[in-house]
Structure 1
Amino acid sequence: MDQRLLNWGIFLLLCLTWGSSFILMKLGLLSFSPYQVASLRLISAGIVLLPFFFKFIRQTPGNKIPVIILSGLLGNGIPAYLFCIAETRIDSSLAGMLNSFTPVFALLFSLLLFRAPVQRRQLTGLAIGFIGVICLFLAKGVDTNQYWYYGLFIVGATACYGLNIALVHHYLKGYSTLQLVSISLFFMALFSAPVLIFSDFTQAIARSDNAWVSLGASMVLGVMGTGVASLLFYQLIRSAGAMFASMVTYGLPVVAIGWGLLAGEHVNGWQVLCLAGIMGGVYLVSRK
C-alpha cells in the first residue's frame, strides 16, 4: 500500500477513535460514577500496553521514572477523571470542542515555564483561543444546559495536557512515545485500581440495566481511545512527522459533534462559530 495513503488512513482512524472518546464516556456514565469510568479506562489501557511496559522498563534509567509518572498523571491520569466529572453535566460534543484547546496551553506553558521562543503570530493565536473558549462558555450558558460551567473541568484537563507536552518536550525528548506511554499507563492503572476496587462497582453492575453497555464502553475507551490510539499516533509520527500527526487535533471536534448530534445533543450555530475561532487560534499557534 502507498505510504501516503496509509498515513491518511491512520490519521482518519485516529480522528474517529479519539473523537469517539467523548460519547463513550457518556455511555460509561449511564451506570457508573465518573471515578469508576475513568479508572476502568486507565486500567484497560494499562493492561493492553503491558507487553510494551515489560520491554521498555528495563531500558529506562531509574531517575527518569518519577518524571514519566508525572507525565502519566498530567497526560492521562488527572484528565481522565476531569473529563468524566465534566460529562456528568455537559454534552459530549461540548467536551470535544473544548479539547481542541490543548495546543494553546502547550504553547502557554512552554513560554511561561521554559522560556521557549515564541512568535507574535503564536501570541495572537493564544489570545484568539482564549476568547473562543470564553465565548463557547457563553454560547452554552444561554442554551438549555445550566451546568455549562462544568466545562471548566475540561479546560483544566487541557491545561494538564498542555503542561505534559511541555514537560515531555523539555525533559523526556530522547524517549519514544510508546516507551513513555506504556510505562506511564502501567502506573496510572496501578494508581486507579484502588479507586475502582473500593467503590461500589459490583453493586453498580447489579443494579443497572445498562451496566454491560457502560462496562463495554469504558473498556473500549481505554483499549482503543487510550491504548491502541497511542500506538497509532506513535506510528503516524514516525511515518509522517509530528506536524502532520498534530493535525489530528482538527478532526476530533468534528467527530465529537457528529456523535453528539446522533445521540440527540443540541449543538447551536454559536457553538460551531466559537469552535471555528478556537481552531483558528490553534492553527496560528501550531503552524510553522
Structure 2
Amino acid sequence: MRINEIDAEKGSNHLPLYFLKYILVNHRLINVLIFILLALTWGSSFILMKIGLQSFSSNQVASMRLLAAGISLLPFFFYFIRKTPRGKLPVIILSGLLGNGIPAYLFCLAETQIDSSLAGILNSLTPLFALLSGIVLFKAPMVKKQLIGICVGLIGVVGLFAVKGIQTNEYWYYSFFVIAACICYGLNIALVHHYLKGYSSLQLGSIALFFMAIFALPILLFSDIKAAFQTGATPWESLGASAVLGIMGTGVASVLFYQLIKRAGGMMASMVTYALPVVAIGWGFVAGESISWLQVVCMGIILSGVYLANNAAKKAPVVEDTPVKS
C-alpha cells in the first residue's frame, strides 16, 4: 500500500504506519519529542551521578563522565577542529572548563552528601547566574524586572536551605558546591555570548569536551580505579551509570540541544531549564530520597524568578545557539 493511502484506513492494521507518517510530517510534534527527550536526558544526570558514587569517588565519576562524553563526540571533533581558528581554542577550552569540566567535579562532590533531587532543583539557578555574569562582567543592561526575578530566585534558594539546612551542616556546605557549579555555567554562557557567537553548540561542545577528556584522563588514572572495582558494592553498575552520564547526559544531550535550537529556536530550548528539576525530583522519588512539599514550593519560587528574569530579557538581543549544561 502507498503511504498516501493510509489516511483512508486509520482504523485498519496500518495504523502504526499512519502514526509514523504523522510524526514525520508534523515538525511541531518532533520538536516536542526532542524537548521531552532532552529534559529526560539532562534531568536524569543527577540520579546517574548518585548511582556512580555508590562504588566510585566523586573525582572518578566526574572523570569517567568527561571521558565518555569526549569519546562520544570524537567524530564531530575531527570535523570541527579543522574549521576552528587556532586563536579561538584557548577561549573554547576555558568554555569547556566552565561549562563542563569544573561543574562535573563540583556536582559529584556535592552529591556525596546531598540528594540528587536537591542538586536538580539548585541547577535551575543557572539562567540567573548567566544574567548576573553578563551584567557584572560585560556591562549588559538590566531592567527592573530582571532584578526582581534574580531576587525571587535567591529567596527560593534561601528557602531551600531553611527547609532542610538547619538539620545538618553538611547540607549547607555541599549545597554551595552546586551553586558554585551554576556560577560556572552562568559565566560560560556569558563567555560564549560575547566571544563565541559564531559557533554552534555542537562545534564548541565537541572541541571543549575533547580537551576536558584529556584533562580528566590523568585524574582517573592516578585515582586508583582498580581498588574501586575490588571494594565497591556494585562497581559495574556504577561504571555503567557514569558512562551513560557522559554519553547521554553530556554528549547526546549536546546534539539534541543543538537540534532543538535549530528547529524550534532558542526560546523553546531555554524552557528545558524548567523541566530539569521536575525530572530530577521524579527520579528522587523513585530512588527513595526524602522530598518535602516545602522543597517543591521553593523550587517553584526559584523557577518563578527564572521566568521573571527571562521574560524581562525577551526584548534584548538573543543568542540562538548558546550551550546549556548539566
Unaligned runs of 5+ in 1: none
Q: Residue 146 of structure 1: CA displacement?
A: 4.6
Amino acid in structure 2 at the alignment position of 1:45? A
Residues 84-93 or 113-122, more deviating? 113-122
Unaligned runs of 5+ in 2: 1-23, 315-326
Report 1:181-260 matches (<5 A): 181-260=205-284
Question: Cα deviations across residues 129-161 of structure 1 (Å, max 9, x unaligned)?
Answer: 111111111112145x55211110000000000
> Counterpart in 1 of 2:102?
78
Question: Cα deviations across residues 152-183 of structure 1 (Å, max 9, x unaligned)?
Answer: 00000000000000000000000111100000
> Counterpart in 2 of 1:62?
86
Report if the CA contact (8 A) 2:54-2:233 is conserved. Answer: no
Report if the CA contact (8 A) 2:55-2:229 is conserved. Answer: yes
> Counterpart in 2 of 1:138?
162
Please point out which of 148, 154, 162 is paired with 2:171.
148
1:113 equivalenced with 2:137 (yes/no)? yes
> Counterpart in 2 of 1:176?
200
Give the Cα–Cα distance (whole angstroms) in 2 for the partners of residues 29 and 155 of structure 1: 20
Amino acid in structure 2 at the alignment position of 1:190? I
Give the Cα–Cα distance (whole angstroms) in 1 for the partners of residues 40 and 76 of structure 2: 24
| Structure number with larger C-alpha Rg | 2
Amino acid in structure 1 at the alignment position of 2:230? A
Number of equivalences: 287
Give RMSD over aligned pairs. 0.9
* DSSP-derived class of the 1:31 partner: coil
Report if the CA contact (8 A) 2:163-2:295 is conserved. Answer: yes
Give the Cα–Cα distance (whole angstroms) in 2 for the partners of residues 137 and 65 of structure 1: 39
Residues 6-15 or 130-139, more deviating? 130-139
> What is the TM-score normalised by the length of structure 2?
0.87
Give the Cα–Cα distance (whole angstroms) in 2 for the partners of residues 195 and 236 of structure 1: 34
Name which structure has the greater RCO, CA cutoff 8 Å, separation 6+. 1
Identity %: 65
Report 1:3-82 matches (<5 A): 3-82=27-106
Give the Cα–Cα distance (whole angstroms) in 2 for the partners of residues 9 and 34 of structure 1: 32
Question: Cα deviations across residues 92-142 of structure 1 (Å, max 9, x unaligned)?
Answer: 000000000000000000001111122211111011111111111111214
Give the Cα–Cα distance (whole angstroms) in 2 for the partners of residues 107 and 178 of structure 1: 23
